[in-house]
Amino acid sequence: MEDVKEHQSQSHAEDDENEIVTENTAFVHGEPLQDAVGPPKVDSEMEILHEKVKKQIIKEGHGHKPSKYSTCFLHYRAWAESTNHKFDDTWHEQQPLELVLGKEKKEMTGLAMGVSSMKSGERALLHVGWELGYGKEGSFSFPNVPPMADILYEVELIGFDETKEGKARGDMTVEERIGAADRRKMDGNSLFKEDKLEEAMQQYEMAIAYMGDDFMFQLFGKYRDMALAVKNPCHLNMAACLIKLKRYEEAIGHCSIVLSEDENNVKAMFRRGKARAELGQTDAAREDFLKARKYAPEDKTIARELRMLAEHDKAIYQKQREIYKGIFGPRPEPKPKRSNWVIRLWQWLLSLFYFIFRRERVKAD
């Protein structure tokens, strides 16, 4: 695990074998991450995999499909089809599922059939009948799954390990598991350098899956440090990819995971600040950059980001001044008082006419 001194001596403008640095980006605001409230609407052709399992492809994958007993890593959301109630979401938990084809739980039989038809990187909508899901009784763990509920799965196959390539995670020693994750990380770095961001993220996610919460909870001492030395760079590299893809909310999530383990991690502060700045969260971004500068006071990229935020705030302030000036208009100037000699002349003439009128009337009387 990197210490603070190493962070201070390491420039964000340089690459290394563990972590990838993002390109400079301007204040471009991407679309916010959508929290799925219902199954996605898919127009692609329905593929029948089984009498009770149908598939519609949302995004094409690449390479070949997993064989029986392959260890697959996937993200998914699941809904009870009759009610559209979402009852599970690994994206929300930021923890991929490990599924060994042919050894899955009974309630995941339909899901496994769908996954076995997919390629790495493929995303699909699966329609699974209740017979290959949670059955007649429904689910005790998920109250939103009623009896005899057909299931809809939005699934993305991150990647898989063939049986011949190694053991399932549960059968590995600590060293084997960390080593497998590290190989995935290095593969991801190579793909990133080729600008294959989606493929790189698949490798990082598989590496993170090897370092799952259940595994990390059991580690302490040097083994925990070894695991974090692989896991944290994968989260940071994921954030680098996501920033380039303008998926800023997800990037913030990965940086926050690193900071929960290593609160002084300069790169996590810096990249979270970048993502927050892109979303217009300037106060939060400035806070991250200022914390990063505390541990890396000589870093020029941090200073540049703080200057950009200051210039951005100044531009917003000037724009607001122009808007308010246009609303209320300029302050009215006091009108000069007109000369009163005309009024006095009229008063004198009226007095004269009144005096003559009175005099003539007295004569007449």
Question: For residue 215, what pLDDT is reported?
Answer: 84
Structure tokens given for 261? 């383990």
Report helix, strand or coil for 68.
Answer: coil
Q: Going from the N-terminus, what domains does the chain have, and what CATH number goes with each?
A: 4-23+167-317 (1.25.40.10), 51-165 (3.10.50.40)
Question: For residue 28, what pLDDT is reported?
Answer: 33
Question: For residue 364, what pLDDT is reported?
Answer: 67
Q: What one-character DSSP code corresponds to residue 62? A: B
Question: For residue 69, what pLDDT is reported?
Answer: 84
Backbone CA torsion sign across 102, 108, 109, 114: negative
Cα–Cα separations (whole angstroms), residue 95 to 51, 152, 161, 235:
31, 20, 17, 12
Question: For residue 26, what pLDDT is reported?
Answer: 33
CA atoms within 13 A on the CB side of 274: 30
Amino acid at 336: P
Question: For residue 117, what pLDDT is reported?
Answer: 96
Residue pair 120/82 in contact (Cβ under 8 Å)? The answer is no
Question: For residue 254, what pLDDT is reported?
Answer: 94
> pLDDT tens string for the chain (365 positions)?
334 333 443 444 334 445 655 443 333 333 334 445 689 999 999 999 999 999 999 999 888 899 888 889 899 999 999 888 899 998 887 778 888 898 889 999 999 999 999 998 899 999 999 999 999 988 877 877 889 999 999 999 988 887 654 566 777 888 988 998 999 899 999 999 999 998 899 899 889 888 887 788 888 899 999 999 999 999 999 999 999 999 999 999 999 999 999 999 999 999 999 999 999 999 999 999 999 999 999 999 999 999 999 988 888 777 777 776 656 555 556 555 555 676 777 777 777 777 777 777 666 65
Angle between helices 221-244 and 248-261 (to 10 degrees): 160
Question: For residue 35, what pLDDT is reported?
Answer: 47
Contacts for 139 with CB less than 8 Å, ≥ 6 apart = 87, 107, 145
Q: 10 Å Cβ neighbour count for 48?
A: 10
Rounded to 5 degrees, φ, ψ at 157 are -85, 110
Structure tokens given for 287? 């806070």
